[in-house]
Amino acid sequence: MTLKEAIERLGLHVLTSEEVGDAKVTGGYTCDLLSNVMANCKTGNLWITMQTHQNVLAVAKLKDLAGIIFVNSRQPDEETIQKANEEHVTVLNTDESAFSISGQLYQLLKEP
Amino acid sequence: MLKDYKADLHIHTCLSPCAEVRMSPATIVKRSKACGVNMIGICDHNSAENNHATLEAARRYGVHVLPGMEVTSLEEVHILALFDTLEPVLQFQEMVYQKLPGENDEETYGMQVIANADDEVLGFNQKLLIGATTLSVEKIVNKIRSLGGLAIAAHIDRESFSLISQLGFIPDNLALDALEISPALSYEDAVRRYSPSLPLIHSSDAHKEEEIGRCCTHFLIDEANIGEIRKALRGQEGRKILR
C-alpha cells in the first residue's frame, strides 16, 4: 500500500503542499506520547496522533515515517505546517477519532 | 554575603486534589522549617489560590516562600512557574483559568481546599484543576518569562506529564530556566541519562507532609529571590547550585 493510496482510501486531508510520493506504508502506530513513538514506531509507519506540537516533525524525520495523521480534525499551527514542508514530512488530518482511523488503516493493510 | 539556601521548590497544598487535606499552608511552612528547608515553592495544579495564605504563614516561621503554580499544558506537560510576589502569579492564574475547561468532581479527584494561614477552610475551588489547559508549552513558558518568573519543566524523568514523556525531547527555542528531576532519580544518573543543556534542580513534589524536603536543591545565593536563583542556575557572579 502506498501513502497515496492510503490517503485516498481513508479520505485523509493533506495539510502539506508537497506532492505525495509513492512511499510504501509499512504499518501504523497510534500514540500521543512522543517518547513512546520514538521507541516503538517503525520506519515507513503512518503515525496516528492528536499531539500537534512541532516536535512531531523531528520524530517523523528521525524514524523515517510515511506520514503523520492528526485525528479529531486537529490542526497544527501554520509554523508547523511550514516546517513540515521544509522538512518534507507529509502531514495529514482526519475528522475521525484515533480508534476509528486506526481500525480502518488496519483493515486496509490486511488486504491482500 | 552568599549563603547556602536549602530549597524545595515544588510543594503542593491541600488545594491540589491529589494532595492530602493535611497539607495546609501553616503545616507546610512548619514542616519545612523543621526539615531545615529555608526556601519553598508553592506549586498547586493550575491554581495559585493558596499562595497568599502560605506567604502569610511563612512570615511567622521565617521560611521564604516563592509563589507559584504547576500548570498543565495542552500537550499534558507539567511546567513549574515561580515568582517573587503574589501579583504576577495571580496574573498568570488569570490566563490559566481562562483556558482551563471543566469542573471538579470531589468524589473522583479529591477536594480542592482554599485555606487561610490559620488552618481554616475558606472554601473549595470548583475548577477541574487536575485537567489540562488549552495552552501550548511555548505560550506558558513565554508568559511566565514575561511576568518575570522562572519556568521549569517538572519531573522530566516521569513517564507521564513530563516534557520528555509527552514531547520526546526538549523543544528548541523553549525559554526554560531549568529542568526538574524527581526524587526517584539521582543528579548523577540524570546527567548521564539526559546530558542536559539546561541546569537541573531536584525537588520533592510533596503531596504529603512527610514528603516535604525529601529532595532539595542547595543554592549559594545572596537572598531568596528569583533573580538570585536565576544567577545561580546560570552560574553568574559566584552564585551557583551546590551539589
Q: Give Cα separations from B226 to B30, B69, B241 (angstroms).
A: 22, 14, 14
Q: Are A15 and A58 in contact (CB under 8 A)?
A: no
Predicted confidence band at B69 (pLDDT cuts at 50, 70, 90)? very high
The predicted-structure confidence for B2-20, as pLDDT tens digits, reads as follows 999 999 999 999 999 999 9
Query: Average pLDDT for residues B162-183, to the nearest whole number?
Result: 95
What 3-state DSSP class applies to A44? coil
Return the ∠ at Cα A42 (arms to A71 and A73), rounded to 5°: 5
pLDDT at B128 > cutoff 90: yes
How many structural domains comprise chain B?
A: 1
pLDDT at A23 > cutoff 90: no
β-bridge mates for residue B41, sequence order: B66
Query: Average pLDDT for residues B117-122, to the nearest whole number?
Result: 96
Q: What is the pLDDT of residue A21?
A: 80
Inter-chain residue contact B166 with A59, CB threshold 8 Å: no
Inter-chain residue contact B168 with A38, CB threshold 8 Å: yes
pLDDT at B67 > cutoff 90: yes
Assess A31–B contact: CB distance below 8 Å, yes or no.
no
Mean pLDDT for all residues in chain B: 97
Q: Are B37 and B5 in contact (CB under 8 A)?
A: no
pLDDT at B217 > cutoff 90: yes
Query: Average pLDDT for residues B129-156, to the nearest whole number?
Result: 97
Q: Are A55 and A77 in contact (CB under 8 A)?
A: no
Q: What is the pLDDT of residue B172?
A: 85
Inter-chain residue contact B168 with A54, CB threshold 8 Å: no
Q: What is the pLDDT of residue B158?
A: 96
Percent of the residues in chain B that have a pLDDT greater than 70, as a whole number: 100
Amino acid making up residue B107 = E
Predicted confidence band at B117 (pLDDT cuts at 50, 70, 90)? very high
| Strand ranges (E), A31-98 | 45-49, 67-70, 91-93
Cβ neighbours for A72, distance < 8 A, ≥ 6 positions apart: A50, A95, A96, A97, A98
Which residues of chain B are at the A interface, by a Cβ-Cβ cutoff of 8 Å?
A: 75, 136-137, 159, 164-169, 171
**Domain range for B214:** 3-242
pLDDT at A22 > cutoff 90: no
Closest CA to B156 of B181, B187, B184, B190: B181
Among all residues of chain B, which has the CA nearest to that of A62? B168
The set of cell numbers assigned to A13 is 486531508
Chain B residues with beta carbon closer than 8 angstroms to that of A32: 166
CB atoms within 10 A of CB B120: 10
Cβ neighbours for B217, distance < 8 A, ≥ 6 positions apart: B7, B8, B9, B201, B202, B203, B241
The predicted-structure confidence for A59-77, as pLDDT tens digits, reads as follows 999 999 999 999 999 999 9
pLDDT at B112 > cutoff 90: yes
Inter-chain residue contact B137 with A53, CB threshold 8 Å: yes
The set of cell numbers assigned to A101 is 482511523
Q: Are B87 and B62 in contact (CB under 8 A)?
A: no
Inter-chain residue contact A51 with B166, CB threshold 8 Å: yes
Inter-chain residue contact B168 with A55, CB threshold 8 Å: yes
Inter-chain residue contact A54 with B164, CB threshold 8 Å: no
CB atoms within 10 A of CB A12: 23
What 3-state DSSP class applies to B202? strand
The predicted-structure confidence for B71-99, as pLDDT tens digits, reads as follows 999 999 999 999 999 999 999 999 999 99
Q: Is pTM beyond 0.80 here?
A: yes
* CATH number of the domain residue B213 falls in: 3.20.20.140
How near does any CA of chain B get to the CA of A38, in Å? 7
What 3-state DSSP class applies to B97? helix
Assess A59–B contact: CB distance below 8 Å, yes or no.
yes
Separation of alpha carbons B28 and B53, rounded Å: 11
Predicted confidence band at B105 (pLDDT cuts at 50, 70, 90)? very high
Assess A35–B contact: CB distance below 8 Å, yes or no.
yes
The set of cell numbers assigned to A39 is 521507541
Of A38, A53, A58, the CB nearest to B75: A53
Query: Average pLDDT for residues B148-173, to the nearest whole number?
Result: 95
Can you tell me the ipTM of this complex? 0.84
Q: What is the pLDDT of residue A28?
A: 98
Percent of the residues in chain B that have a pLDDT greater than 90, as a whole number: 98
Chain B residues with beta carbon closer than 8 angstroms to that of A53: 75, 136-137, 166-167, 171
Domains of chain A, earliest start first: 3-110 (3.40.1390.20)
How near does any CA of chain B get to the CA of A34, in Å? 5
Determine how β-strand B39-42 pairs with β-strand B3-11: parallel
What 3-state DSSP class applies to A25? coil
Chain B residues with beta carbon closer than 8 angstroms to that of A59: 168
Closest CA to B241 of B209, B218, B208: B218
β-bridge mates for residue B201, sequence order: B180
